[in-house]
Amino acid sequence: MSPMDVSPIFEKFVRAAGELFEVPGSDVEMAFWTILVGFLSNASCAILGCYLVLRRMSLLGDAISHSILPGLVIAFFLSQSTAFLPMFVGALAMGVLAAFLTQTLCVYGKVAEDASMGVVFTSLFALGVILISQVGRVHLDADCVLYGKIELVSLDTVPRWGMEVPRTLGSLGLVLGMVILFVTAFWKELKLTSFDPMLATAMGLNATLVHYLLMGMVSVVTVASFEAVGSIVVIAMLIVPGATAQLLTDRLGWMIVWSVVVGALSAVLGYLGAVYAHTSVAGMMAVVAGLQFFAAVFLAPKHGLLSKAFHNGRLSLWIVSEDIIAALYRLEERAGGSAVVPTMSYASCARASGGGLTAWLAIPVLYGRGRVAFSRGAKLQLTAAGKRLGESLVRSHRLWEAFLDEHFELPTDHLHEPASRIEHFIGPALQEKLEREVARSDVDPHGRAIPPSQTTDS
């Protein structure tokens, strides 16, 4: 097969990226098959990995990938061959056994799930080492076991569709199809048992059966991917894409989509990075997946550290701004309609809202939004919009104090603090409900007048 037989769009992409990463043009065909095999493996692992992450069983892939060693040795001993089918069956049987023993120890042996995984996979891996030493004729390439041979898949081909394709492509494509069919057929069952297995059982679903079906599929994917990409990528792709996707969305469907995207980017960028750095392709794919996870930790729109810091900063600025408005409104209220509009210095406003950098930043924000204005002497006073906001805040505060005083046995001096916190989150609709719930809506428990509703005529 010549490079021109490859998809033209993909070839253009690989050539453009190859120029950037110094990939020789003659390696386009190898790049195509390597990236495609990596994508098929990564996507299969990523889809099932989402459920493992939700079930807090992320290390099960690690346990299965180590536990299949005795299955490989037993399959060779019985078949006297290293052909794909007997090796696959032996490894799959041992992978399912590892999942079964892990669950059995956890449920019936009352052993913690992480501890049961550790016991099972270390014991089975040790058994495999002993069997190898006893049989003596099993040859396992350590580099293949750890890193896989994904960069060599284009050298082991079979004739398909009128061209030579990697032998691994067929098995991985079949496994990906099985995964998609499995998730589609058991979508409701997998979703319920992953989020709330007790509720699923109460609804009549067999949570245990669904668990073993999922573990069986994880074993199939692990074994099918093991030969091509090695244990490092299998473990990474069963954990990292799902964990990354969980940071990016709270919806299971989108979580699966994002996990596949992470797996695809890991395949493409991992290959290009490995060629550029002259290192292991499988290892670089795992590294790229890890880099995407750390990027999501900081940049995820809802759960990222920077996003949370930005949101918390905006929330703090909003609350402090409203505290300044309320302080200025109370100052005018105490003035009792004096002809001279009360003002407050910049520093006094900052202290009234608790001080700190946020308080000093809030005043320019209020000025920019037209809530406060500067008078002579650089002192602050409320604008008409600021007075309306201040009146609403003080009304919320005092209605909440009246509600607490009437419905809870709290001392009068314990009412101000909780009202100061909740006043920022009480809108006009809730104000009306509070007004209906208190006996007197004209004064608060301290005898101070509650401002009237802004929707009624004064």
Per-residue model confidence as pLDDT tens digits over 204-246: 888 888 888 888 888 888 878 876 777 677 888 889 999 999 9
Average pLDDT score over residue span 414-424: 89
Using the predicted structure, report yes or no on whether residue 390 has a pLDDT greater than 50.
yes
**Which pLDDT value is given to residue 9?**
58
The token pair at 229 is 């990409």
pLDDT for 458? 38
C-alpha span between 411 and 378 (Å, rounded): 40
182-191, 219-228, 393-402: the lowest-pLDDT one: 219-228
Average pLDDT, the chain: 82
Pick the CATH number of 3-300 from 1.10.150.20, 1.10.3470.10, 2.60.120.920, 1.20.120.330: 1.10.3470.10
According to CATH, the topology of domain 307-382 is Arc Repressor Mutant, subunit A (1.10.10)
Of the candidates 308, 310, 282, 283, which has an alpha carbon nearest to the alpha carbon of residue 297?
Answer: 308
190 closest CA partner among 176, 175, 206, 202: 206
Q: What share of the chain is helix, strand, coil (3-state, %, to 5)?
A: 75, 5, 20
Place of tokens 């980017």: 265
CB neighbours of 445 closer than 8 A, spacing ≥ 6? 401, 402, 405, 412, 415
Question: Domain ranges in the chain?
Answer: 3-300, 307-382
**pTM, entire model:** 0.76
**Measured distance CA(402)–CA(168) in Å, rounded:** 73
pLDDT confidence of residue 305: 92
